[in-house]
Amino acid sequence: MQIHNLSEQNSILNIFISEIRDVVIQKDSMRFRRNIERIGEILAYEMSKSLTYHASTIETPLGKSSINLFDNDIVLCSILRAGVPLHQGLLNYFDDAENAFISAYRHHRHDPESFEIVVEYLACPNLENKRLILADPMLATGQSLVATFEALKPFGIPKEIHLVNVIGAQDGIDFIDGYFPENTHLWIATVDDKLNDKGYIVPGLGDAGDLAFGEKLQR
Ligand code: URA
């Protein structure tokens, strides 16, 4: 797996990351969603540099212009519900991507510190030989990404997999590194050191789904 950690270089991305982490600013849910979307746009731009391109000619009012355009074989799959604003950010740039949605949530049976990932809803086009983007803002334990990837397998074998995340924990990255095939890229805005006992990223930002869409009842 090739890891592209965008925080290794300072850029305007730092502003958006600081705002989604900030305990005061993140309470403005519209700003939170928009910042996640903006981060998705930046990740899409960076990812676009790794795509394959073909030569194209555009007719302007004054003549012809040659330009390379990317081969549009992208399927953009997001994990509900926290993935929705990130999905929108990616879709803002990958205009014609096909789309897939999957729900994956943490089910705590008895012990609040242990959980299993439950996948329920799945809507997906054919993935055979496509470029699959799997978007999930928080890469914590990595279990949701693995459960999602397993659930998508009956839909075909993608030619490349691009995992797109906002904040990751090093343990989760190590976990998925051993799991996803070699033709996988990880595009991540920033990486934190650890997880707490409940599997939340520290310092992280809290619960991305709740910050974007409000608190939910635990099941
Ligand atoms: N999901 C979140 O929303 N936050 C975390 O820190 C981990 C998983």
pLDDT digits over 8-23, tens only?
999 999 999 999 999 9
Q: What is the pLDDT of residues 202-214, one digit of tens each?
A: 999 999 999 999 9
For 13, the 3-state DSSP assignment is helix
Which pLDDT tens digit goes with each residue over 44-63? 999 999 999 999 999 999 99
Give the residue whose CA is nearest to atom 7 of ligand 1. 200
- Ordered per-residue pLDDT tens for the chain, 219 residues: 999 999 999 999 999 999 999 999 999 999 999 999 999 999 999 999 999 999 999 999 999 999 999 999 999 999 999 999 999 999 999 999 999 999 988 777 777 677 788 888 999 999 999 999 999 999 999 999 999 999 999 999 999 999 999 999 999 999 999 899 999 999 999 999 999 999 999 999 999 999 999 998 876
Query: Residues lining ligand 1, CB < 6 A?
Result: 82, 138, 140, 200-201, 204, 207-209
Could you tell which of 207, 215, 216 is best to mutate to test the pocket of ligand 1, judged by most ligand atoms within 8 Å of the CB? 207
What pLDDT, on a 0 to 100 scale, did the predictor assign at position 108? Answer: 76
Whether residue 67 lies inside any domain: the answer is yes
Give CB contacts under 8 A, 24+ apart, made by 61-68: none
Give Cβ neighbours of residue 163 (< 8 Å, ≥ 6 apart).
133, 134, 136, 139, 145, 176, 180, 184, 185, 186, 187, 188
Q: State the pLDDT at residue 219.
A: 67
Domain contains 219: no
Q: Specify the pLDDT at position 105.
A: 80
CA of 111 relative to ligand 1 center, distance in Å: 18
Q: Evaluate whether residue 36 is within a structural domain.
A: yes
Which residue's CA is the nearest one to ligand 1's atom 4? 207
Say if 203 falls within a structural domain. yes
89 vs 72: CA distance, rounded Å: 17
Task: Report CA(161)–ligand 1 centroid distance (Å).
Answer: 22
The domain that holds 30 is classified in CATH as 3.40.50.2020
Q: What is the CA angle 115-116-122, rounded to 5? A: 140
Count the domains in the chain: 1
Is 218 inside any structural domain? no
Q: Is 77 a member of any domain?
A: yes
Range of the domain at 45: 2-213
| pTM greater than 0.85 | yes
Q: Which atom of ligand 1 is nearest to the CA of 208?
A: 3
Predicted confidence at residue 116, as pLDDT, reads: 84
